[in-house]
């Protein structure tokens, strides 16, 4: 199944059409996406047996983040071998964990303001949790708590991220629009192996023109290069924190981030981030507006 957020309401996407969950279930599930995640096991069982109407056409650019208001957002750093290699760092023995504050979350077609000339991109597989869990006993148990997967971008302002006596990962990665994900939560039964997915990002606009190719491929990797696989991440996080339905985990990025080679996003750029079997994000970038909101 593909569960998405259209104007704050949970929808199922089937054959590119939208089925409103609350309407189709006669009010049993929804209307908000997190209501659906909070009842995930019952919902998944209902979806498996339900008969659905044909659904309505919808404008994909109006999709919001699949869960707009998770209780917790986790992000994992240095979790691809090729990315650790390009950063010149050894592979971590434990999860490197930070948060993206929830106000940074955005829909798959977000237009993102650039607060500086040092905004980088990190294409990531995102995990959405479907069941409250703490101290999961095994990797199988961890896997069964995963509601599904999405494509994410962990946009990062590298100056704020790295300045000061200790790095400020969470702050530098939490400007508005810095956490787009989607286009939908794709349930695990639609993904053969989350550790064998092609993950890529390509750009058009001034940054591509400066590289002499449009579109220009920025990242081209595989989740096979993950150091901690998705079930390991869920298992290890749960040894410390209680995970809740709807929690969002950005699982790290493969090689090709801009900071390692002096490529940063520019106003007028358009970045397409894609993961095999899940879908794409389509983000455009504009200069920051000066007025305060």
Supply the minimum distance, in Å, between the C-beta of residue 54 and Zn ion: 39
Instruction: Please return the burial class of 1, using the count of CB atoms within 10 Å of its CB with bins 0-12, 13-18 and 19+.
Output: middle
Q: Which is nearer to Zn ion, 223 or 253 (CB)?
A: 253
Which structure tokens are listed for 94? 């434990």
Q: Which stretch, 136-144, 247-255, 261-269, 276-284, contacts Zn ion (CB under 5 A)?
A: 247-255
CA distance to 123, 130, 249, 274, per residue, from 228 (Å)? 16, 20, 13, 20
Supply the minimum distance, in Å, between the C-beta of residue 244 and Zn ion: 21
Q: Which stretch, 24-32, 114-122, 143-151, 194-202, contacts Zn ion (CB under 5 A)?
A: 114-122
Would you count residue 120 as binding Zn ion (CB under 5 A)? no
Contact pick of 122, 231, 247, 282 for Zn ion (by CB under 5 A) = 122
Q: Which is nearer to Zn ion, 17 or 158 (CB)?
A: 158
Supply the minimum distance, in Å, between the C-beta of residue 250 and Zn ion: 6
Alpha-carbon span 276 to 292, nearest angstrom: 39
Binding mask 178-207 for Zn ion (x = CB under 5 A): ------------------------------
Q: Which stretch, 1-9, 130-138, 196-204, 246-254, contacts Zn ion (CB under 5 A)?
A: 246-254
Contact 98, 169 (CB under 8 A): yes
Q: Which is nearer to Zn ion, 66 or 259 (CB)?
A: 259
Q: Which stretch, 99-107, 133-141, 250-258, 279-287, contacts Zn ion (CB under 5 A)?
A: 250-258
Q: Which is nearer to Zn ion, 87 or 141 (CB)?
A: 87
Supply the minimum distance, in Å, between the C-beta of residue 76 and Zn ion: 7
Binders in 19-78 for Zn ion, by CB under 5 A? none
Contact 232, 135 (CB under 8 A): no
Buried b (16+ CB within 10 A) or exposed e, 77-99: bbbbbebbebeeeeeeeebebbb
Would you count residue 154 as binding Zn ion (CB under 5 A)? yes
- Judged by DSSP in three states, 160 sits in helix
Alpha-carbon span 71 to 141, nearest angstrom: 21
Q: Which is nearer to Zn ion, 122 or 247 (CB)?
A: 122
Supply the minimum distance, in Å, between the C-beta of residue 53 and Zn ion: 39
Residue with the shortest CB distance to Zn ion: 154
Q: Which is nearer to Zn ion, 3 or 234 (CB)?
A: 234
Positions of E strands within the chain: 2-6, 9-14, 17-20, 63-64, 73-77, 96-98, 105-106, 111-114, 119-120, 123-129, 146-153, 156-157, 179-186, 198-204, 216-222, 248-250, 270-275, 279-287
Supply the minimum distance, in Å, between the C-beta of residue 37 and Zn ion: 23
Supply the minimum distance, in Å, between the C-beta of residue 171 and Zn ion: 14
Alpha-carbon span 195 to 32, nearest angstrom: 30
Alpha-carbon span 287 to 113, nearest angstrom: 5
Supply the minimum distance, in Å, between the C-beta of residue 226 and Zn ion: 12
- H or E stretch including 210? helix 206-211
List interacting residues with Zn ion (CB under 5 A): 122, 154, 253
């Amino acid at each position: 199944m593909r569960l998405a957020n259209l104007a704050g309401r949970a929808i199922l996407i089937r054959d590119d059409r939208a089925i409103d969950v609350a309407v189709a279930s006669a009010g049993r599930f929804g209307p908000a996406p997190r209501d659906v995640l909070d009842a995930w096991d019952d919902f998944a069982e209902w979806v498996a047996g339900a008969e659905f109407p044909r659904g309505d056409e919808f404008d994909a650019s109006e999709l919001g983040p699949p869960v707009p208001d998770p209780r917790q957002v986790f992000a994992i750093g240095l979790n691809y071998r090729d990315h650790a290699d390009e950063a010149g760092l050894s592979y971590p023995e434990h999860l490197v964990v930070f948060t993206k504050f929830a106000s940074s979350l955005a829909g798959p077609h977000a237009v993102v303001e650039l607060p500086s000339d040092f905004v980088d991109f990190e294409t990531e597989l995102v995990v959405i949790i479907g069941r409250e869990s703490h101290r999961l006993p095994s990797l199988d148990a961890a896997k069964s708590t995963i509601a599904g997967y999405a494509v994410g971008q962990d946009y990062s302002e590298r100056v704020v991220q790295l300045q000061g006596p200790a790095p400020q990962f969470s702050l530098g990665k939490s400007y508005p629009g810095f956490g787009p994900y989607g286009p939908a939560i794709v349930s695990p039964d639609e993904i053969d192996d989350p550790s064998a997915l092609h993950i890529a990002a390509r750009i058009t606009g001034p940054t591509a023109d400066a590289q002499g190719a449009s579109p220009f491929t920025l990242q081209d990797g595989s989740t096979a290069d993950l150091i901690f696989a998705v079930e390991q991440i869920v298992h290890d996080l749960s040894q410390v924190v209680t995970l809740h339905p709807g929690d969002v985990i950005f699982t790290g990025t493969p090689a090709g981030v801009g900071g390692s080679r002096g490529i940063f996003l520019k106003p007028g750029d358009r970045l397409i981030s894609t993961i095999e079997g899940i879908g794409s994000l389509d983000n455009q970038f504009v200069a920051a507006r000066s007025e305060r909101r």
